[in-house]
Structure 1
């Protein structure tokens, strides 16, 4: 074992001990780490880079170095900048049809009534902003109808990115004309009917067809 590998092993052992004994997963400042490990500042930074590449630690500029994989927040600006429109639309096609299927299995009469009420309001909504908020509420109600807190959390994370990346395009397409809204409401009706019938296969397919139609309306075939 060479010297750098020895330093990496000692820091890894230090981190494992600290992680098991401390509630705070932030490492001490570099001078204290250098003293604890008996290495220079330059060598410490080399070792930290090695462990960061392994996912054992992550660094937040201005806040410090933390044990474990990097923590990602839904509203992290750097994360949003790395997400393309296609990434987001593909993610919707993976997650939301499964949410619809789970909703069809687990939805209560109260969930279905909430979906019906939301759609009824959408069909009579005049201002675009009111219709859009109802559209968001309907999709969120489907996620809630899964009665799965983790799935709802995943959906909430994706919805945050949708607001950042898609809102302006949705407004540009849906605000000037009512026809796209009417088509979307018709697709929502098919989806809600499948959930009310507790048919997960039909609900999954209806959501997938709806999302593909929305993608075409927003960006054409891509």
Structure 2
């Protein structure tokens, strides 16, 4: 494994461990640099990569936070949304993101999605698989090449994290991953996007989200 990828893998593991402990902020850069055994300059490069994936976000003077950046820091304070509201929002937004991704994706976007699918097949734990699932869906939002749509997705994801994640843990428990149920759906979705088929990508994403909803909550 190339050194850069090895460093990224170890940093992602640190982020996953922070999530597992319920922490929202990573250690300060000097401590992270020491834990990873990399220079501060390399660490910032690695953090920038994870930030581009929506795995973390950084606020100058406040630190590095887990998850995507919120639309505004005040938008979510004291606000709680029902599971139904979040599911409906996903069904409204993400099929359109898949449509736009099919229209605007590049070869690099498709390579990112394919690499994510391959890593999901080898995911050693539910936590790892879940983070990869998040990365795949966000890579589709990124493939729209529309910063506003990506910001809307990140805002929605920040709310999903505190509701749907708990339900996923309840349903799948300690199983390695729910990939047996979703692998074919993910593969079909990426294939349709890479074929630049907007209508097909929109339909597959909608069907996928409905399938996930039914597995997590039953027919609604």
TM-score range, shorter chain: 0.5 to 0.7
Take 2:129 and 2:178, find their aligned partners in 1: how far apart are those partners?
12
Going by fraction, where is helix more abundant, 1 or 2?
A: 1
Matched, 1:117 2:115: yes
1:164 counterpart residue number: 162
Take 2:135 and 2:184, find their aligned partners in 1: how far apart are those partners?
16
Classify 1:84/1:161 alpha carbon distance in 2 versus 1 (closer, same or farther; 3 Å): same
TM-score under structure 1 length normalisation: 0.64
Classify 1:90/1:74 alpha carbon distance in 2 versus 1 (closer, same or farther; 3 Å): farther
TM-score under structure 2 length normalisation: 0.65
Take 1:183 and 1:177, find their aligned partners in 2: how far apart are those partners?
12
2:103 counterpart residue number: 105
Contact 1:119-1:189 within 8 A present in 2 as well:
yes
Alignment of 1:159-198 (within 5 A): 159-177=157-175, 180-198=178-196
- Deviation (angstroms), 1:72: 6.2
- Deviation (angstroms), 1:176: 3.2
Contact 2:125-2:176 within 8 A present in 1 as well:
no
CA deviation digits over 1:158-188, x for unaligned, max 9?
A: 0000001111111222343357321112110
Larger Rg: 1
Contact 2:126-2:177 within 8 A present in 1 as well:
no
2:210 counterpart residue number: 212
Contact 1:107-1:146 within 8 A present in 2 as well:
yes
Contact 1:180-1:217 within 8 A present in 2 as well:
no
Classify 1:111/1:103 alpha carbon distance in 2 versus 1 (closer, same or farther; 3 Å): same
CA-based RMSD of the aligned residues comes to: 1.7
